[in-house]
Homo-oligomer: A and B are copies of this chain.
Amino acid sequence: MSELRKKSPADLSAKLAGETRYLHDLNFPGQLVGAIYRSPYAHARILSINVERAKQVEGVAAVLTADDLPSYKYGPTKFKDWNLLAKDRVLFIGDEIVAIAAETKEAAQRALELVEVEFEPLPGVFDPEDSLKPGAPLLHEDVESNKPMQVSVSRGDLEEGKRKAAVVKGGRYYSNRVYQGHLEPVGAIASWSDEEGITIWAPSHIPYRARETYAAGFGLPEDKVRIIVPPIGGSFGAKYVLKVHVIAAALAMAARRHVKIILDRYEDMITAHPRVPLTFDIEIGADEEGRFVYKELTVYADAGARVYWSPNVVSTVCTRADNIYHFGSVKSEGYLCYTNNSPTTCMRGFGNAEMLFAVESVIDEIALELNMDPAELRLKNIVHQGDTTLHGYRLDTCKLDECIEKVKELSGWHRRASLPPYRGLGLAVANHVSGFRAIDPRFDGSTAVIRLKQDGGIEVETGEIELGQGMSLTYARIASKILGIPEEAILVKSGDTGRYPFGIGTLASRSTVMGGNAVQKAAQSLAARLKELARETLGEAADFREGAAVLEGQTYSLSELASWYRARHAGEELEIKETYVPDTDLPDATYFGHPSPNYPFAAHVAEVEVDPDTGRTKVIGYWAVHDSGTIIHETMAKGQVLGAIAQGVGWVTMEDLLVKDGKVMNPSMMDYRMPGANDMPKAEVFFIQGKDPNGPLGAKSIGEVALDPVPGAIANAIAHATGKRGYALPLSAEKVWKSLQNT
């Protein structure tokens, strides 16, 4: 099996040895290089496009404009505002106008330089609040306003809550534009054949949605689009459904050759689909004992020029945090706003990490006002096991209280009162989902195929996607434990819409619980079937256990069982398909529902030291305690938490994709600083384990809940260290230094 295992993106040794073949390493004979002519204007009318000179360049195989392509409107969500290439107007700097495929990069570049486009610049709008004002330039003519979506959530009696409030805290918080910072820039290879249609090698972790979206873009049946997912070199939300995939496909159809486009870092960053910037006007009220009585929120989200996954971010922002505290009453208004910035999308945390930055900051402000220990205040208000939350989440398991107690203990929380100056300890908590019922209102869950190979190995097929989080190792371990065979004998296969079962994909922290439950169900069915097979073959006294058939002390290997099966089934291998459908409730029009099979929780403490001369924050200690049910693969789970801490340190203290009038001001890794090893605090990760009844082997998710509390914990630690509340991420050295000057 070891040879086969190398095919698995889960093979860490292959990654460490540099043997993993990412998109960059994939090349096909006769492959062309794709390039894109992009708008230099944030908003402009296209008066003319002349590609005649570009077409004359030697080595150019295809030059496409909107006129060469279908004009369907499409998009990955219900908001269909994508085109294949811009026709009459461009809506952001980087908007795609002309696509070129050539034999070499140099030829493509020369052709790009010869493209002539005449523009009439138009006034742009760059601030989401401004975009809603009367007279703001309208981005999409077929939409009434620049507000594709508004979320209104109201639960409980807000007025009553306000009357009860003894203390009210809040203000305008801001979560910034964060570049996902994947090592591998976005890209694709596409091909066309009459038999198969379009094939796209695309690092996407929701390839089935990508297939549906791209098929609509070309007006093709879904079966004529196949997405193959190579190992993904980082995504964090950036690699869902992307225009670059579609453009590669359009070029491949025109040139009838493989076409590869990988953006360079500059192009990736100017057209990045970063974390949705969010402006929160928030207020939380508490009574004299510190019991929360209301939360009120207005949020403006910058969708940029087109809708990617920002709608889902807005609905998460308006609801998720209300399921971790008993707020008594809540009212949220969320506005998704078109601007002439490049389109934004989700990033790990999917709005919850952003919202919790504000919520956890406000709660610390309340604790300060009430002179209460912030941990105490939280313990007084958090949800508990058995609760149904304000919006309907049913908490079959919840050890958030234990997480808070444990993180206090591990971090030495008692030191908080006696830290030296400019040192601070900050606490934040978080909840999340393990899959989210509303991602696709049509259905939720996951399907796994499990197959006994002739050689006694096991293949597991899933529609969910490995993106480095350890999905494949996790699934192999689930099957291994149920079947009693070594993980090395199990090959997890995924990432090909033409071969594997349908999957909603890896988002909303769904892979462990959704796909894992499907794998568990399939492995259990296989074990039962193998027992039957042993009895059919050896007699009623036979059994299947620990990976082998047994009768009277004699064991028969899986490859023997495979032969028995094939003998009875015309040579076909034993294959079982099982679908897991979660027992959840689709949130209703008021956003009430039980959208996830279970809910993970976390409590984090950060310790920071702020340099008062520079304002620079150094995170010096970090403690993360998690309730993610049973931890299936501890190494990978810890890796998720440590990675999230690093990501949070970067986000809160340094990362900021600066945009001015729609133009990215720091589109390079020199100017966009991300954390290095030296920025990592000493970190301790602890799991309060327990068996959740709805998770595979008792597991809940870990991927996003690991990041959700980090901004709040670090922000609270900085406020504790400096006595100054930071309202706008990042809490960069400059901002912290400035806040200290006002003392």
Listed in ascending order, the chain A residues whose CB lies under 8 Å from chain B are: 3-4, 7, 21, 28-31, 194-195, 208, 221-224, 257-258, 440, 442-447, 453-455, 463, 498-499, 501-504, 514, 518, 563, 566-573, 575, 577, 579-581
A29-B257, A221-B3 in contact; A443/B568 too (CB < 8 A)?
yes
Which residue of B has the minimal Cβ distance to A257?
B29
Contact of A571 among B499, B502, B567, B577 (CB under 8 A): B502
Contact of A563 among B7, B442, B501 (CB under 8 A): B442
Q: When chains A and B are docked, how far (Å) is the Cα of A453 from the Cα of B224? A: 13
A28-B29, A195-B21, A499-B499 in contact; A442/B221 too (CB < 8 A)?
no
Q: When chains A and B are docked, how far (Å) is the Cα of A446 from the Cα of B3? A: 30
Q: Which residues of B contact A563 (CB under 8 A)?
A: 442
Q: Which residues of B contact A446 (CB under 8 A)?
A: 570
Which residue of B has the minimal Cβ distance to A501?
B572
A29-B28, A442-B563 in contact; A580/B570 too (CB < 8 A)?
yes
Q: Which residues of B contact A567 (CB under 8 A)?
A: 442-443
A221-B3, A502-B571 in contact; A566/B455 too (CB < 8 A)?
no
Q: Which residues of B contact A445 (CB under 8 A)?
A: 569-571
Most chain B CB neighbours (cut-off 10 Å) among A453, A568, A570, A575: A570
Are A208 and B499 interface neighbours, CB within 8 A?
no
Q: When chains A and B are docked, how far (Å) is the Cα of A195 from the Cα of B504? A: 24
Q: When chains A and B are docked, how far (Å) is the Cα of A697 from the Cα of B447? A: 34
Q: Which residues of B contact A30 (CB under 8 A)?
A: 28-30
Are B194 and A21 interface neighbours, CB within 8 A?
yes
Q: How far is the CB of A501 from chain B (nearest CB, A)?
A: 5
Q: A440-B571, A442-B567 are in contact. List 15 more A-B contacts (CB 8 A).
A: A3-B221, A4-B223, A28-B30, A29-B30, A221-B455, A223-B453, A442-B566, A442-B571, A443-B571, A447-B572, A504-B570, A518-B570, A568-B581, A570-B579, A572-B577
A21-B194, A30-B29 in contact; A571/B208 too (CB < 8 A)?
yes
Which residue of B has the minimal Cβ distance to A30?
B29
Contact of A579 among B443, B503, B569 (CB under 8 A): B569
Q: Which residues of B contact A498 (CB under 8 A)?
A: 499
Q: Which residues of B contact A499 (CB under 8 A)?
A: 498-499
Which 7 residue pairs across A and B have the least CB separation, nearest first?
A29-B30, A445-B570, A447-B572, A502-B572, A30-B30, A502-B571, A569-B579
Q: When chains A and B are docked, how far (Å) is the Cα of A567 from the Cα of B441? A: 9
Q: When chains A and B are docked, how far (Å) is the Cα of A514 from the Cα of B444? A: 38
Q: When chains A and B are docked, how far (Å) is the Cα of A504 from the Cα of B575? A: 18
Q: Which residues of B contact A573 (CB under 8 A)?
A: 502
Q: Which residues of B contact A440 (CB under 8 A)?
A: 571
Q: Which residues of B contact A447 (CB under 8 A)?
A: 569-572
Q: When chains A and B are docked, how far (Å) is the Cα of A463 from the Cα of B566? A: 14
Q: When chains A and B are docked, how far (Å) is the Cα of A739 from the Cα of B349? A: 93
Q: Which residues of B contact A581 (CB under 8 A)?
A: 568-570
Which residue of B has the minimal Cβ distance to A491?
B223
Are A571 and B3 interface neighbours, CB within 8 A?
no
Q: Which residues of B contact A224 (CB under 8 A)?
A: 3
The 7 sampled A-B contact pairs (Cβ below 8 Å) are A21-B195, A28-B29, A442-B566, A443-B567, A443-B568, A499-B499, A502-B571
Q: When chains A and B are docked, how far (Å) is the Cα of A498 from the Cα of B226? A: 15
A29-B258, A442-B563 in contact; A195/B7 too (CB < 8 A)?
yes
Q: When chains A and B are docked, how far (Å) is the Cα of A221 from the Cα of B223? A: 30
Q: When chains A and B are docked, how far (Å) is the Cα of A566 from the Cα of B257? A: 35
